[in-house]
Structure formats: C-alpha cells, structure tokens
Amino acid sequence: MFKGEAVRGQRDRISGFFAGRRVAVTGAAGTIGRELVAQLLALDVAELRGLDNDENGLFELDKAFGHNPQFSGLLCDISSSRAVRQVFDGVDYVFHAAALKHVPICERSPSASIDVNIRGVENVVEAALEKRVSRVVFTSSDKAVHPTNVMGASKLLGERLALSANRRNGITLITCTRFGNVAGSRGSVLPLFREQIIKQGRLTLTSAAMTRFFMTQALAVRLVIESLIHAKGGDVFIPKMSAVAITDLATVMIRLLAPVGGRLAEEVQIDVTGPRPGEKLYEELLSEDEADRAISVGAYLIVPPQQGKGRGETATYPGLGSQTRPRQSYASNRELPLTQSEIEAFLKDNALLPELGQQPLLRLVAAA
C-alpha cells in the first residue's frame, strides 16, 4: 500500500469509529479541550458536548463552533457530581481534559487541586459508569510520575481512580493518556518567553539544567483520540515526544524574536531565578517500574493493564504496528534533545511564533 493510501485508510478508520456517536469533552475551553472539539467535529460525530466552568471560555467556543449544529457548549463544574451526571445522558465517549495544571497555583491551593483533579475525576468516572458510557479517556500529565508537587500527586491519584474503575459496570472501558508540554498552550513557556523577549528585553529561566518534552497541540490531541480507539481499558498511553533543553529553546527564541522587539539578540538578558516550589528539572513520562512491563509500539509507549505476574505478555496492540520493549524509563534528561536548528524548524514549521508570519507545514517533530 502506498503511503498516501495508508494515511487515507487510517483517517477513514478513525472517522468510522466516531461517526454517529455522541461525545463529551470536559475542559473544552482549555487548550487541549478546544483542539479536541475542533478535531472531533471533523469526524462526523452526531453530537459533541463541550463542558467547562469557564463562562467566557464557553462564549469563545460558541463563537468558534456554534455554527455547527452538532456542537453545544455547556456550563458544567466537574467538582459537582450532580452536574456531571446530568450532561452524560446518552453519551458514547468521554474525553476528560478538565484539570488544574499550573504547579505554583496548585501548591498554593491544594484543596482546590483535590476538588478538581481528584474528586472531579471521580465524578466523571462515576457518572460514566452510571450512564453506561462506552469509552472514557483521562488526560494525565508527566507530573504524575514520581510526583514532587501537589499537581503531580493529584494527577497520579486521578490516574489510579480512573484505571481502577475500568469495566466496573461490565461495559465502560477507561484508559489514560499521559504527556508532557503542549507547545504554545496557555500558560506554557513558549508564550511566556515570547512576551518577555519582545516586550521586556529580558528572559527568566528557573534553571539552566532544565529539560522538557514538547509536542504540538494538534499532534497531541490526534494521539489522544487514537488512544481511545486502540485502548483495551486499564492501560496508559504515552505519546513519544521530543526532548528539549530549555536553555537551547531560550537561545533560539531570543535569536528569532529579539529583532521583533527592536533589539539585538545579545541585548536580551537571561535571568536564572532558581526552580519554583515543587518544580522538577526534567520530565518523566514512564517510570522504571512501568518500563519493566511497558511496550513500545508506533507513536506510543503503552503501560498495559495488569494481567497476571508477567510483563504484559497477554496485551497486544496489533493495529499500531510491531511491539518492542522500552530500554529504560522515559525521561527528558535521558533522551537526545533537539538541536538548536531542529528547535528553530519546529517553531517555524508549526507556526508557534506568529510574529514571524509562518504558516504550519504540518511537519510535526515527534518520535515515530
């Protein structure tokens, strides 16, 4: 089969899986949620319910997607079990993307983190079981691996709550996806660096040794959608991502954006402030314990559901390709980082620096 035919076949298979289905997306006004809405509406779903407790965010969603008769934006706080149950009637698939994700805010407000990232997950899961939803995918975070902060601990408990409820009613399949930074998302390092370089002429870096995983928004969401299709339930899907040294990212962005602010690159000062409370120097997506039974297949690392004492030997994912074993845990400080030229291509090709006027070429940087 030619490559183009394979791509079309994959697209048709995904469309067929979602055609005529009713889908709910929590956190629909957030970066991941909004992209989920956009991609799912392109798959001929019968209905898409975008849930969020951000009234202004829902207003913006309505402006973007309200012309589509399949879309409805619903004001819903996932910390209310009654509210979640009401909006899950008749739903086939649920993408649970609502969360508190900023480490410093979660450190200062641990009770709110528990309400949203733990009780919220429990409410979504219980409502899905009660309403006999077919499939649920919970979007988790790298910070759930060896958590050092409130946000990570809450996401880890969210994972455990979700996975433990898989098929508890004999019907509802529940899986998790776990990934790192989505490039350009709200509150992420890219828009922060852009603003600092252009407007302030100086850039703050918490540590020169920091590394991170990055993936584009569109690719991250596409892999979340595909993980729902391939999931067996009780498993964790980890998209393979590109590792980046933050000092290299800062250097490239200064070189590209300093002229936009009317400065020379050498005039932009870098201030090293030290790690924030609970902040890691590197990201982990797969722990050493998980690596012992995980598999590497296609664009994913997968931690299969526990099935006996073996290393996941009964779990196979034939629709994704041949399977191998990971060499080790998957952490950003262990992976070969992108070079500065590769970082520049990543930023430009995916239109992550709108000041430069590039249009995305869809040449997404991610390990295959």
Catalytic residue annotation: 143
Cα dist. 160→28, 34, 117, 368 in Å?
A: 23, 25, 12, 28
Is residue 352 within 8 A of residue 363, CB to CB? The reply is no
Through-space distance between the first and last CA atoms of the chain, rounded to whole angstroms: 19
d(CA 128, CA 111): 24
The torsion of the CA quartet 11, 17, 22, 28, rounded to 10 degrees, works out to: -40
Inter-axis angle of helices 217-230 and 31-41, to 10 degrees?
A: 60
d(CA 187, CA 185): 6
Cβ of 294: how many Cβ atoms within 10 Å? 25
* DSSP element (H, E) containing 286: strand 284-286
d(CA 153, CA 292): 22
d(CA 227, CA 336): 25
- Distance from chain centroid for Cα 315: 24
- Nearest to 183, CA basis, from 18, 306, 338, 48: 338
Ordered alpha helix ranges (H), 131-240: 150-164, 189-195, 217-230
Tell me the chain's radius of gyration from C-alpha atoms.
20
d(CA 312, CA 302): 10
d(CA 152, CA 143): 4
CB-based contacts of 108: which residues, under 8 Å, 6+ apart?
none
CB-based contacts of 219: which residues, under 8 Å, 6+ apart?
239, 364, 366
According to DSSP, residue 197 is labeled: I
